[in-house]
Chain A
């Protein structure tokens, strides 16, 4: 075997033996370090995942949504507005939409009720692919998301009822269910026809909640939105990039604030490591001196320390990141979700997209492992360049 490689293996072997010799101390450092990395990584993963989840949700959303406001609050919008937009150049299609939330008192869950004519949506055919069964067309027909079906506890029944605002019952019949791989978008969804949704929410037949505007060229979204604003004063015109940016700013700000707090903890740990390492114990200094006298180069000792610190910090990084991944994507980031999402109860539960970018991992590595390496290797270097004769007499 190559001598240089064999030397590295020898040093690594010695490192592992050295770690074993001081196993309690090293285990303690590793656990504390892993805990700090876990906190930082959890935030990073949660922010990235929430942003990705929001982007994913928005990918299926219309490019422009037009809502009517009255006294700053949204209200039903007359379908006659639709005719006023027909002449705007660049609009591909407009779909009136009825949507709202239905609060189920029995389960404490909020369902999203949505109704739109698939024929008016550019990607309306994808709805067929997303469900088992058929699309609702007749009276009382609905398609349910898995979360809603579970929450209503239908147990094979096809019929159920929901309350109208005047507390009369509206009978409904399940004609299909959304496939589980669309859970992220459909878990809390009750999809029905516009007429049935109007009936459920008691919305007038010539009204809808908003207009979904699809444009031919995505680069013209803002121009078309301005035209719509000018044509329909008193409406709120939301564009997909605006919503996307809002999500990014909100998550970014909250995450940034929390990250500053956690980075302070990380910095404190590094300072502690520096303080600990710069005051090398007499035993450690003696060991360095012995190795030097026995013919170890300063570089060999630094390499030894490097391997040692890299093993401790690398394992802590791996442990911290793995725990953070499980915490965020298996347990839903319960520890920090209130900080990033607010304290409202979301039903059915929001499932986060497992999104981990290599750049995030690298960032955490750079912020944690690299300073720790410096904090432990530099003092060892300072000890190694001192002539070893005094330490070993």
Chain B
């Protein structure tokens, strides 16, 4: 993956929801964006500005209605869902605003969820999961149900789960929305560490703690489905 210079390339990407219906919405208009490998950028914008849609396209969750999206060297625009999923599994790690863990599963089971369809056995899953949890200093919670741990710990579980497949791209959607300033700083420190490890990081946020972080390479303002590089 190191030989890819431009990890994310969006070329005139437009996304239209409910095309042809009364409730048709154009969420993105002709968006152009290039993110080099190893960069950490922030998508800044108000709620409904289109940054989550942008993140979904970069994350191979949805395909653009028109334009080209090249993620980790692969053009995605016309890939069927099956291949989008495989590409997402191999190249993208997600961190959600709501953490989106399954509360009844243990912390370790949540972290290793992406490994199940890969056919990785329980012993290997345990080793990889525990290693990441130890790295994020949350290994003492490994056997706890995820619904019984604090918000800060949940954030670290979400980071561990995003990293379990060792993807080159990390996407975080409003990751500090439910964290206090101390935990938000810890999160940013972890992201900075990942950046130094060569990961490409895209954070969608309007939290000033994030947008003013010195670790960011760029801030991209998103407004009404259009972007403005500052």
Once bound together, how far apart are the Cα atoms of A1 and B118, in whole Å?
13
Most chain A CB within 10 A, of B52, B53, B104, B161, is at: B104
Q: Does B119 contact A (CB under 8 A)?
A: yes
A393 touches B119 (CB 8 A): no
A-side contacts of B85, CB under 8 Å: 292, 295-298
Q: Does B122 contact A (CB under 8 A)?
A: yes
Of B52, B104, B165, the residue contacting A393 (CB under 8 A) is B52
Q: Shortest CB–CB separation between residue A22 and chain B, in angstroms?
A: 9
A-side contacts of B52, CB under 8 Å: 389, 393
A295 touches B61 (CB 8 A): no
Once bound together, how far apart are the Cα atoms of A166 and B85, in whole Å?
92
Find the B residue at minimum CB distance from A11: B116
A17 touches B105 (CB 8 A): yes
A295 touches B89 (CB 8 A): yes
Q: Shortest CB–CB separation between residue B154 and chain A, in angstroms?
A: 13
Given contacts A17-B105, A392-B96, A393-B173, contact A291 B113 (CB under 8 A): yes
A-side contacts of B90, CB under 8 Å: 295
Given contacts A7-B119, A389-B52, contact A293 B61 (CB under 8 A): yes
Find the A residue at minimum CB distance from B62: A387
Find the B residue at minimum CB distance from A3: B119
CB within 8 Å of A: which B56-75 residues: 56, 59, 61-62
A6 touches B121 (CB 8 A): yes
Given contacts A286-B100, A295-B88, A392-B100, contact A14 B116 (CB under 8 A): yes
B-side contacts of A296, CB under 8 Å: 85, 114, 116-117
A-side contacts of B119, CB under 8 Å: 2-7, 10
B116 touches A387 (CB 8 A): no
B61 touches A7 (CB 8 A): no
Total interface residues on B, CB under 8 Å, equals 35
B82 touches A297 (CB 8 A): yes
Q: Does B25 contact A (CB under 8 A)?
A: no
A-side contacts of B100, CB under 8 Å: 286, 290, 293, 392
B-side contacts of A17, CB under 8 Å: 105, 109
B-side contacts of A299, CB under 8 Å: 82
Total interface residues on A, CB under 8 Å, equals 33
Compute the total of residue contacts between A and B using a CB distance below 8 Å: 89
Once bound together, how far apart are the Cα atoms of A244 and B122, in whole Å?
59
Q: Does B12 contact A (CB under 8 A)?
A: no
Q: Shortest CB–CB separation between residue A356 and chain B, in angstroms?
A: 38
Once bound together, how far apart are the Cα atoms of A125 and B114, in whole Å?
74
A contacts with B: majority SS: helix
Q: Does B120 contact A (CB under 8 A)?
A: yes
A-side contacts of B121, CB under 8 Å: 1, 6, 9-10
Most chain A CB within 10 A, of B114, B116, B165, is at: B116
A294 touches B173 (CB 8 A): no
A6 touches B120 (CB 8 A): yes
Once bound together, how far apart are the Cα atoms of A287 and B104, in whole Å?
11
B-side contacts of A298, CB under 8 Å: 81-82, 85
Once bound together, how far apart are the Cα atoms of A173 and B122, in whole Å?
75
Find the A residue at minimum CB distance from B53: A389
Most chain B CB within 10 A, of A7, A294, A298, is at: A294
Once bound together, how far apart are the Cα atoms of A31 and B221, in whole Å?
57
Q: Does A123 contact B (CB under 8 A)?
A: no
A-side contacts of B105, CB under 8 Å: 17, 21
Given contacts A17-B105, A385-B81, A388-B61, contact A294 B120 (CB under 8 A): no
B-side contacts of A4, CB under 8 Å: 119
Find the B residue at minimum CB distance from A388: B61
Q: Shortest CB–CB separation between residue A299 and chain B, in angstroms?
A: 8
7 contacts between A and B (CB under 8 A): A3-B118, A10-B115, A290-B100, A385-B81, A387-B56, A389-B53, A393-B52
Ordered nearest first, which 3 A-B pairs have the shortest CB separation? A295-B89, A3-B119, A7-B119
| Chain B interface residues (CB < 8 Å from chain A) | 52-53, 56, 59, 61-62, 81-82, 85-86, 88-90, 94, 96-98, 100, 102, 104-105, 109, 113-122, 161, 165, 173
